[in-house]
Amino acid sequence: MNKYKLLINAKDFDEIRVAMVNEDGVLEQVDFETIGKQHNALGNIYKASITAIEPSLQATFVDYGGSRHGFLPFNEIHPRYFLNNDRRLPVEKRVQLGQELLVQVAREEIGQKGAYMTTFLSLAGRYLVMMPFSKRIGISRKIEDNEERASLRKVVDKVTVPHGMGYIIRTAGLGKSEDQIQRDINVLVSTWREMEARSKEVPSGSLLYREDNVVNRTIRDYFTEEVTEILIDEQSAYEEIRAYFMRLMPKYAHIVKLYRGKAPIFSKYQIEDQVEKIFSRKIKLPSGGSIVIEQTEALVVIDVNSGKTAEGNLELTALKTNMEAAEELARQLRLRDLGGLIVIDFIDMRERRNSQDVENRLRDCLKEDKARITMTSVSRFGLLEMSRQRIKTSKEIKHYEDCPVCRGLGRVKTLETQGLDLLRRMKQLVSGSYVRGLNVSLSEDLGLYLLNHRRKEVLELEQKFSCDIQLQLKVGQHVTPRFEVIKGSSEDKEAMPKPAPLSLASMAASMSEKDLNEKRDYREEKIEAVRAMTFDELRAAEIPVPSALSPFDQFNFTMRVLMMKRFGLYEGMTEVFKDAICEKVMGSGPFGKGEEEEEDPSSLAVTEENVDDGPMDDADYADEDEDETESSIEVVETILEEDESSLSDFRDEIEESEAFEPDMEV
């Protein structure tokens, strides 16, 4: 017999978590509940009113006080609410708008779908489920043994229940005495009487009955004699649970204990990582295979992959992986609360008996599931279809929301595609009548892409439509572009808002004046520093050179010094020839440029650094210097070709120097 522990984490923040683990520490059941959340409505009973009757849907919509109207199918309306007993009339003729009735949440809201409601009410107890509007008395189908069913039938015949009420004995009622069953019935009947009386006093949309919290619900639904210990990490919750056991199951009250450890209770028993895996798309199997779970609106798809599983042949590999997958996916269905249509793609197996073994293993593992499950056989394509009762909203839907960037797709467009889409959208907006400006909020990456690669197109839009386009970057955020259109005539330039920090117009003006002047001044200082050096100083220069030069230029300078030392270019030369060689080498590098060409502001690259931190520095001009370095290397190679030494030896010498940095191109 398996042994289990119930771990209850009620100490942290506003969330209560309950986990059941087996003797090997494997998580078998887990549930969360955020205190005060409105969506914990499953099982609640409300007084509602009919707001719409839709014969085409064979359903009505009811206002029960929720965020959306509840969906109440015709076949979930109890005959006691029919205004006319003529069975020949359709249901839509037997109810009316505004009619009040008691409804219970059978399925919580999912996405845009409202809650699924029923008027066939039920109240769950420890050993049975009471049905106030039903005369049926039965035993759970989960109890399959004929002798056990016969024994329970004898107990059922001895207990009393009010006229017009019915109940179903749960699996937890197996082996219980007549007194225990009767006590459970009395508690539920009392609860119903109070609810019925209150329903006559409160208005429509009122809550009449709230389902037990996650702790009581878990103990009620999952506690069996196989549970050997219940640990709670919070004093008041411990006292409440112990009182619950003393009232209903005093025999087991001794297993309820207060956890006093310093480490969080879920961490102590290695539960946190297992809980996190519930939200993982991919689950690894012991032998190296894996299962991938994809949840869609229509169905749940589970794919089984062999991965690194290795057996004697492919058939055995497939069988072993499928067997492990059957056990794991049965567990994952419970842990994730997956419901509805489920399709499992097992690894193809040639032998029919192997497929049957996998089916049998899956059926055995699903017996522990509280939900109703219907399952087909494995098809010749390796697919198995099953339907699982959706008892509550899946944990993924409850705890996750669609990504605001990809909007649930799981992928985003490339920067180039986003940029082109954005340009088209901007053109559409600024081409409208009386548009004098456009503020665009967008991500940092997309904004820098536009400024670096599509600046010309944006400037053309500004000029063509006589408007200001201002880009406002959300640094560190991935956001969907948002637009603010500023209306007005072309004469309203004085009323234009101040340019945003990354206005294209202000950026271009700033770079064409202040930044370009600072860049030229800084370059001239470097040029003069190098030209002022004598030939002796040049030959005797040590590595690294003085810090007056940037690291990038230090490398270029060092490369030339090494070249001149290596080949002794100055030995035996006249002063005039030395000047010519020096001018040839220095004049082609980033600090030997003679006259500066006028640069087009629209061609300057923009990076996060020069946007936010003021004037541009050396690192900001890395792209420009890279082009100039290519011409410098061409000069070096030309000189080296005239010498008998190899170019590779020279490159090796440079790379061994202290000034060489791996990310610099030689």
What secondary structure does DSSP assign to 284-351, as a single string? E-TTS-EEEEEE-SS-EEEEEE-TT---SSHHHHHHHHHHHHHHHHHHHHHHHT--EEEEEEPPP-S-
Higher local confidence (pLDDT), 560 or 168: 168
Least confident among 75-89, 169-183, 476-490: 476-490
- Record the tokens describing residue 259, joined without a space: 């956890």
Average pLDDT over every residue of 274-295: 90
CA proximity to 590, closest of 546, 560, 547: 560
Higher local confidence (pLDDT), 644 or 83: 83
Calpha distance 87→37 (Å, rounded): 42
- For the chain, where do the domains classified as CATH 3.40.630 start and end? 278-399
pLDDT at 21: 93
Confidence class for position 211, pLDDT limits 50, 70, 90:
confident
**pLDDT, tens only, 82-108:** 988 877 888 888 999 999 999 999 988
pLDDT at 586: 47
pLDDT at 579: 47
Higher local confidence (pLDDT), 540 or 310: 310
Least confident among 395-409, 410-424, 483-497: 483-497
- Record the tokens describing residue 595, joined without a space: 């006259």
pLDDT at 534: 53
What is the chain's mean pLDDT, rounded? 76
Higher local confidence (pLDDT), 499 or 528: 528
3-class secondary structure, 48: strand
- The residue with tokens 């944990």 is 395
Average pLDDT over every residue of 497-510: 43
Q: Provide, rounded to the nearest whole percent, the portion of the chain with pLDDT above 90.
A: 28
Residue 516 has pLDDT above 60, yes or no: no
Confidence class for position 346, pLDDT limits 50, 70, 90:
very high
Tell me the sheet residues that pair with 666.
none
pLDDT at 548: 42
Q: What's the whole-model pTM score?
A: 0.60
Higher local confidence (pLDDT), 606 or 558: 558
Most confident of 235-244, 531-540, 574-583, 616-625: 235-244
Residue 365 has pLDDT above 50, yes or no: yes
| Angle between helices 352-366 and 314-336 in degrees, nearest 10 | 20
pLDDT at 175: 83
Contact 632, 556 (CB under 8 A): yes
Most confident of 34-38, 235-239, 574-578, 655-659: 235-239
- For the chain, where do the domains classified as CATH 3.40.1260.20 start and end? 415-500
Residue 30 has pLDDT above 50, yes or no: yes
| AA identity, residue 456 | K
- For 88-138, give the DSSP string: TS-GGGTS-TT-EEEEEEEE--BTTBPPEEESS--EE-SSEEEETT---EE
pLDDT at 198: 93
CA proximity to 326, closest of 277, 367, 381: 367
Average pLDDT over every residue of 380-403: 83
3-class secondary structure, 385: strand
**pLDDT, tens only, 415-435:** 888 888 888 888 888 887 778
3-state helix, strand, coil in the chain (%, to 5): 40, 20, 40
3-class secondary structure, 283: strand
Which stretch of DSSP H or E encloses residue 584?
helix 575-586
Average pLDDT over every residue of 479-494: 58
Calpha distance 76→103 (Å, rounded): 10
CATH code that applies to domain 4-38+212-272: 3.30.420
CATH code that applies to domain 278-399: 3.40.630
Residue 207 zone, left/alpha/beta (φ > 0; ψ -120 to 50; rest): beta
Higher local confidence (pLDDT), 39 or 6: 6
Residue 597 has pLDDT above 60, yes or no: no
Residue 620 has pLDDT above 60, yes or no: no
Confidence class for position 141, pLDDT limits 50, 70, 90:
confident
- For the chain, where do the domains classified as CATH 3.30.420 start and end? 4-38+212-272
- The residue with tokens 């040839």 is 584
Calpha distance 616→247 (Å, rounded): 76
Calpha distance 255→374 (Å, rounded): 36
Most confident of 3-12, 392-401, 425-434: 3-12
Least confident among 47-51, 478-482, 545-549, 558-562: 545-549
Sign of the Cα torsion 186, 188, 191, 195 reads negative
Tell me the sheet residues that pair with 105.
117
pLDDT at 531: 54
Whether omega before 73 lies within 30 degrees of 0, making that bond cis, reads no
pLDDT at 59: 93
Higher local confidence (pLDDT), 516 or 315: 315
The strand ranges marked E within 180-265 are: 207-209, 227-232, 256-258
Higher local confidence (pLDDT), 214 or 121: 121
pLDDT at 525: 60
CATH code that applies to domain 415-500: 3.40.1260.20
Residue 293 has pLDDT above 90, yes or no: yes
Higher local confidence (pLDDT), 272 or 626: 272
Residue 125 has pLDDT above 80, yes or no: yes
Average pLDDT over every residue of 499-520: 49
User: Integer distance in angstroms from the first to the last C-alpha of the chain?
Assistant: 71
pLDDT at 368: 82
Confidence class for position 519, pLDDT limits 50, 70, 90:
low
